[in-house]
């Protein structure tokens, strides 16, 4: 069964638009996380960015206590955030690239160019009982490097696929890259997740990609929830996902 991890960052984005710098505010990302679990989500994802633009430190600790499924902590490979992760002890961390000027995460992690440092972080996380995923583009060189780091998972960056979805030829090319990347990762012993830009329109096309374990989806579900409610948004996404592998 294909699993769904719901990224609740943008619930916090809405809150921070009005309540930034305050210890109160709505909507509450923890309550959203619990409703996602009630609807059937298999995990909750949250990204503590270095500039704290949405999720705040206090949110993480409350999530760690409240989440009953699986907490996926997205993080930059930076000393401050590494120490937070080791104290927090989420079920899994996903290392992502991070730039202050970007609106959202752009591109995959350059594992090949920073292999030694990433390997060190993977070792520290694994020694603490925390699994590791690396958010990377479906590039053979990056996948090979990921397999050498000691990470248990990769998360294939589906952003280019999502961006090119309405151009048939480009969409097809991006889908081939994802299919090949998933096969390569699986052959190297890596577990495969995927995420970024996935939505209610493009999801089923992604079913051509083999070996996927979990999809991490946030913005589309939160956007849908604005009009129909987050519980129904999660249920609709799960219904779409039930056709995988059939």
Residues facing residue 217 across a β-bridge: 6
| 31 among known catalytic residues | no
> Strand 131-136 and strand 92-95: pairing?
parallel
How many other CB atoms are there within 10 angstroms of residue 114's CB atom?
Answer: 16
Catalytic residue among 10, 42, 54, 196: 196
- Cis ω before 27 (30° cut-off from 0): yes
The closest alpha carbon to 48, from 78, 3, 27, 70, belongs to 78
Catalytic residue among 10, 16, 54, 74: 74
Q: Is 84 helix (H, G, I), strand (E, B) or coil?
A: helix
| 74 among known catalytic residues | yes
| 115 among known catalytic residues | no
The CA dihedral of 181, 183, 189, 192, to the nearest 10 degrees, is 60
Burial class (CB in 10 A: 0-12, 13-18, 19+), 17: exposed
Catalytic residue among 42, 47, 54, 157: 47
Q: Which residues of 90-108 are buried (b: 16+ CB within 10 A; e: fewer)?
A: bbbbbbbbbeeeeeebebb
Q: CA–CA separation, 128 vs 139, rounded Å?
A: 29
Q: CA–CA separation, 221 vs 8, rounded Å?
A: 9
79 contact partners, CB below 8 Å, separation of at least 6: none
Indicate which residues carry an active-site annotation. 47, 74, 196
């Amino acid at each position: 069964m294909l699993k769904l991890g719901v990224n609740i960052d943008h619930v916090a984005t809405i809150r921070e638009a009005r309540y930034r710098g305050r210890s109160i505010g709505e909507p509450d990302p923890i309550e959203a996380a619990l409703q996602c679990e009630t609807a059937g989500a298999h995990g909750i994802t949250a990204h503590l960015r270095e500039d704290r633009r949405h999720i705040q430190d206090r949110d993480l600790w409350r999530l760690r206590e409240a989440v009953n499924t699986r907490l996926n902590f997205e993080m930059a490979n930076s000393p401050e955030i590494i120490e937070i992760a080791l104290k927090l002890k989420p079920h899994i961390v996903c290392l992502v690239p991070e730039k202050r000027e970007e609106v959202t995460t752009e591109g995959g992690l350059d594992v090949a160019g920073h292999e030694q440092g990433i390997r060190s972080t993977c070792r520290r996380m694994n020694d603490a009982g925390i699994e590791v995923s690396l958010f990377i583009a479906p590039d053979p060189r990056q996948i090979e490097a990921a397999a050498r780091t000691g990470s248990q998972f990769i998360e294939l960056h589906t952003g280019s696929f999502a961006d090119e979805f309405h151009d048939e030829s480009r969409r097809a090319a991006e889908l081939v890259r994802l299919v090949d990347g998933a096969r390569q990762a699986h052959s190297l012993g890596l577990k495969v997740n995927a995420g970024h830009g996935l939505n209610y329109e493009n999801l089923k096309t992604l079913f051509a990609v083999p070996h996927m374990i979990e999809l991490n989806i946030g913005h589309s579900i939160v956007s849908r929830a604005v009009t129909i409610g987050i519980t129904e948004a999660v249920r609709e996404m799960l219904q779409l996902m039930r056709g995988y592998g059939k």
